[in-house]
Amino acid sequence: MIRGVKLSAIPIVLSCFFLNPHFLNPPKAICHQSQYSSLEETTISVDESKVVNPIIYSISQRMNAEESPNFYITVDKKSLKFRLFQKYSERDELLLETSVALGKPGHSTPTGEFYIRRVVENPFWYPTKSSKAKVPSKPGKNNPYGLWMSEFFRQNKPGDYSFPAEGDTLIRIHSTNSPLSIGKYASNGCTRLSPSFAEEFFPALLHFIPHKEPKKNARGIIYPLEKTIPVFVK
């Protein structure tokens, strides 16, 4: 089991520095580097990892230290908002909120309950019937998925390394190479996150959620989660 976070030139959010007097003394974290990444990376100390990734620090400050991560996500189609919550026995705590792009007319993002079973780093993109592009895209920032992606599954099962994955709905939550689409109905049904948010959010999930060793295949570098994350699209 790994509890870690890969960091690749993630920008520091200066507002955290000025608004939080404890920003320079964050709680301890565990960080790791992907053994597969071809991008330039810098090995940093445990404490520095939270300074570099504001989402890890922000979640750590909001969560009860005695509670294990028990996350769920909501995607609001009307407001085009993504929200991450921590579920406690007596209440739910809002941890993150950001704008997203969702399905355009004719390709509406499906509603209902889904599960994130794994995180994919440096994913390959493959065209679907509704895609304008007909050629697969290699990993990189110009990939339609950006550098990070997770599939939506209907079944609440442990994550694995399979590709194609059984139960894959073909709906994703991912970064994007079209950041100007955020806040609009512009996708073919997926939930798009801004690249700056995605490049902090997905490593933060890998920091908090236990997961298996990463393995690389034709899908990308796959981190199967040992605990699924429910997603409610409404």
Binned at pLDDT 50, 70 and 90, residue 223 comes out as very high
Query: What whole-number distance in Å separates Cα of residue 134 and Cα of residue 229?
Result: 31
Tell me, what's the pLDDT at 161?
A: 97
pLDDT at 73: 98
Residue 60 domain flag: no
pLDDT for position 83: 98
Is residue 27 a part of any domain in this protein?
A: no
Query: Could you read off the pLDDT of 173-221 as tens digits, one per residue?
Result: 999 999 999 999 999 999 999 999 999 999 999 999 999 999 999 999 9
Mean pLDDT taken over the chain: 83
Judge whether 193 lies within some domain.
Answer: yes
Q: Is residue 155 part of a domain?
A: yes
Res. 167: pLDDT tops 50: yes
Q: Count up the domains in the chain and report the number.
A: 1
Residue 208 lies in a domain: yes
State the average pLDDT over residues 82-89. Answer: 94
Contacts of 180 (CB under 8 A, 6+ apart): none
pTM over 0.85: no
Q: How confident is residue 127, by pLDDT bands cut at 50, 70 and 90? A: confident
Residue 151, domain CATH: 2.40.440.10
Domain span at residue 76? 68-233
Query: Is residue 90 predicted with pLDDT exceeding 60?
Result: yes
pLDDT at 35 over 50: no
- pLDDT value of residue 40: 38
Question: Which H or E element spans position 76?
Answer: strand 71-76
Q: Which of 14-23, 111-120, 136-145, 203-212 has the lowest mean pLDDT?
A: 14-23
- Kindly state whether residue 195 falls inside one of the protein's structural domains: yes
Q: Is residue 62 over pLDDT 50?
A: yes
Q: Where are the beta strands (DSSP E) in 109-220?
A: 112-121, 148-153, 168-174, 185-187, 191-192, 215-216
- Are 116 and 150 in contact by the 8 Å Cβ rule? The answer is yes
Q: How do residues 40-58 score in pLDDT, each as one tens digit?
A: 344 444 455 545 899 999 9
